[in-house]
Structure 1
Amino acid sequence: MSSTQITPLSFCVMPSRFAVRDAPFGIEGWDAAAKNAFDDNTLFHDVFQSADPGVVYAVGPPLKRTLRTFIKNAQLQIDGMPATMREISQSKRACLIEISADTPHAHTLTIRHPQLSVNIAISPSALPRYAGLNTMFTLSRNNTLDWVRDWARYHVDTQGVEGIVLYDNASDHYGADALCDVLSGIGGLKTFDVVPAPFQYGPAGMSRELTSARYLQFALLEITRLRFLQQAAGVLNMDIDEMAHGPAGQTVFEAAQNSDAGFLTLPGSWRYPQPGAPLLHESHILRRADMEEPMYPKWCLVPDGPHCGKSWRTHGIKGLPDQPQEGFGFFHCRMVSESWHYDRSEYTDLALEPDPLAMDVLAAALNPV
């Protein structure tokens, strides 16, 4: 293992008097849990050095009214030098600001405003550590350590993953050091970062009003792209309950790198555990006997390829149509989940049957002879 670490985000949370970020459609009708989960006072999730001297990125939730007025009326400095800013956001669910000053190094961002002044440490870029590697990233909260271990080991062994960025969203079952211990034990993994992300994820639910108010994931996509993985050879987006697969002898990275678009869409399908088996990835070898349920895809990308500079999304790349290839996809393991979003166990009335591909891909890969 060449490099392993817990890597903090350099964030800025506004005092309560500035906590006035509006939800896109308002919060009328929200229950107490949804209101508590809404992030109304984070200004930036991370402030970090770009690949260019004197240029810093600040990434956070959308500014909205009062916070937008605050930042536009503030004076900005980098290490005491006057700084200019421009908003370059590509998403309504995240704010990306480029801040520039005439200085070869960047250590502290100062925001001066008549109502508040704050100094924010500028995080270093991690781009060189992941340059040229096949990488993977995800956001996790309280997923069991066995699940994290098997997810990482499977993708290192079958897809050639060499680096992982794992965001931990305020897990209270264990600390970030436990995740480091798990990833440190994965043979073949060259580097990783466990990044604590102590923010509200956003309200749970499926309505447009609620999903539009979930900001953290979109901000982390920008942070991953610009601070960690823009110079990687390949980037795979897979959650802990998702396992990428392809034809024997081919990896998702090779498929993306050999494509004209430098991009691979991975269609997904649910897999269900054998009754009575431990709730691990390898137990998820059953499929629906009647039909596959439609599911949003995931993806693999060559980040410095034809679509360099485009924002990443959970299920694709901004402005890029799906690019599937025969035989590539991912298994979505139904009960590898804390059921934070909804009760995943509500499938017992489905007719299920063994899936030979899942048996070969999951059970065989996780239990090599």
Structure 2
Amino acid sequence: MFDFDTVFSDLFVRDGRLWMIGPPFANLEPELRSSTFKWNKLDVSADIEFENLNRMSRASVPVDASNGLLEIDGPLGSWKVEVDELWDGLFRGSNLLVTQQKNNRLEWIAYWAFYNAQVNGVDSVVVYDNCSENYTAEKIDQILARIPGIQNHVVVKWDTPYGATGGPHNVWDSDFGQHISWEHARRAFADSAASCCVIDIDELPFCIDGSPLAEKLANSEKAAMFFNRQPIRQFPNRKDELRPSPRTHADFSLGEARGAWLAPKYIYAPARLPNQAQLLVHVIRDLGVQNEPEKEVRAGHFDSIRIRWRRGEKRQVENFESEDQIKEPVETVSVLDNNFDRLVPQWKELEARLKPFFEQQV
């Protein structure tokens, strides 16, 4: 079992359906299937649809009320849970940005949201905060509320464990937490959005022609657009040494000369996505078409906007002191340079307003 405790990470009602989303049922599936599920005292067990997906599972059932009492009784135990409907108007028609994170610096989160609002047409954000220790989830909420262009946002206090990472043999088959988050975001928040981009805090997408990513997807007929990531190395070639300020993505624009070769991330149009499709980290399963990366879209993957939590580290990655320390051939990524230059005046003003929040983190 995933963490020996979690059967469902969350339960909610959307559009007349009760969703129960969590880690793989695994050896608990027979017991769950033999349990009695009651919704407002009505036995709905026969109508429950159990689905086993890649590194996560979901169960759902049509319901005739937007909120009520769910009772589960069976071999695993007995539970009573009050379940409510999630309001579907918050992100209707929005261009949504979704991530899961823990302990990233608040200035990184701020710049990530700010950049995507100004460059990629994002107007809404959902952050799954995976039990950060350096600040509260409320601090992220306060930061996002002050980002120009972000009209709506939600910070989810997400205590579902991330799961095991790839290990020494790079076998990624037990990182359940992120897969559960993406499915939860799709069903709970993104279903009425115009677009949803799923990326990490250390990643900034950009279109080679300068157009907003959300607009490029909207003008296509695709259900999703995939883009490879280009490593941006940790020498701060853009840093203004005369103006001390917290490190952000905008300090770096030296990308590996071989271009965008890291596994892709994506943006998708919820209304175009097949219901059976599943959002994985780098691909969308059962999309119906190949997950081919776009040639004219990529993302910078910033080495310095990172804490090596997989190694148990708590401090941000140290910058190189000179460009000579970079082992790989690098070149300036001109599109990032241009985007960063354009955003400097507005970011300086925003940074000053957010400074009191930055100073409160550990």
Q: TM-score, normalised by structure 2?
A: 0.83
Kindly indicate whether the alpha-carbon contact (under 8 Å) linking 1:231 and 1:304 is maintained by their aligned counterparts in 2: yes
Deviations 1:64-114 (A, max 9, x none): 11x21321221111122111243453623111101345x333322111125
Say which of 120, 143, 148 aligns to 1:159. Answer: 120
Contact 2:206–2:336 (CA under 8 A) maintained in structure 1: no
Distance 1:306 1:79, change over 3 A: closer
* 1:99 counterpart = 2:61: yes
The aligned runs of 1:67-146 (5 Å cut-off) are 67-84=28-45, 85-89=47-51, 91-101=53-63, 103-113=64-74, 116-146=77-107
1:315 corresponds to 2:282: yes
Q: Helix, strand or coil: the match of 2:86?
A: coil
Paired residue secondary structure (1:127) = coil
Amino acid corresponding to residue 119 of structure 1 in structure 2: K
Which residue does the alignment assign to 1:350? 328
Opposite residue 306 of structure 2, the aligned amino acid is S
- How far, CA to CA, are the matches of 2:29 and 2:274 in structure 1? 29
Partner residue in 1 for 2:212: 251
Q: Does 1:171 align with 2:138?
A: no
Does residue 333 (structure 1) correspond to residue 311 (structure 2)? The answer is no
Counterpart-to-counterpart distance in 2, 1:115 and 1:275? 54
1:54-73 matches, cutoff 5 A: 55-65=17-27, 67-73=28-34
Task: Please name the residue that 1:361 is paired with.
Answer: 339
**2:242 aligned residue:** none
State the match for 1:181 in structure 2: 142
Scaled by the length of structure 1, the TM-score of the pair is: 0.81
Match of 1:286 among 215, 232, 254: 254
| CA drift at 1:304 | 0.3
Whole-angstrom CA distance in 2 between matches of 1:255 and 1:119: 46
Choose which of 47, 54, 57 in structure 1 pairs with 2:11: 47
Matches within 5 A, 1:148-227: 148-206=109-167, 211-227=172-188
The SS at the match of 1:296 is: strand
SS at 2:66 equivalent: coil
Question: After the TM superposition, which of the residue ranges 336-345 and 182-191 deviates more from structure 2?
Answer: 336-345
Deviation at 1:355, TM superposition (A): 3.0
Q: Percent of aligned pairs with the same residue? A: 22
Secondary structure of 1:42's aligned partner:
coil
Q: 1:335-357 CA deviation, whole Å, 9 max, x = no partner? A: 11111135866974334443323
> Unpaired runs of 5+ in structure 2?
240-245, 348-362
The separation in 1 between residues aligned to 2:251 and 2:234, in whole angstroms, is: 5
Answer yes or no: is the 8 Å Cα contact 2:236–2:252 preserved in 1: no
Structure 1 gap ranges (5+)? 1-20, 22-37
CA distance in 2 between counterparts of 1:56 and 1:275 reads 49
Give the deviation of 1:248 after TM superposition.
4.4
Aligned length: 328
1:90–1:235 CA distance, 2 compared to 1 (3 A): farther
Counterpart-to-counterpart distance in 2, 1:367 and 1:323: 37
> Do the aligned partners of residues 190 and 221 (structure 1) sit closer, same or farther apart at CA in structure 2, a change above 3 Å counting?
same
What's the CA shift for 1:126? 3.6
RMSD: 2.5
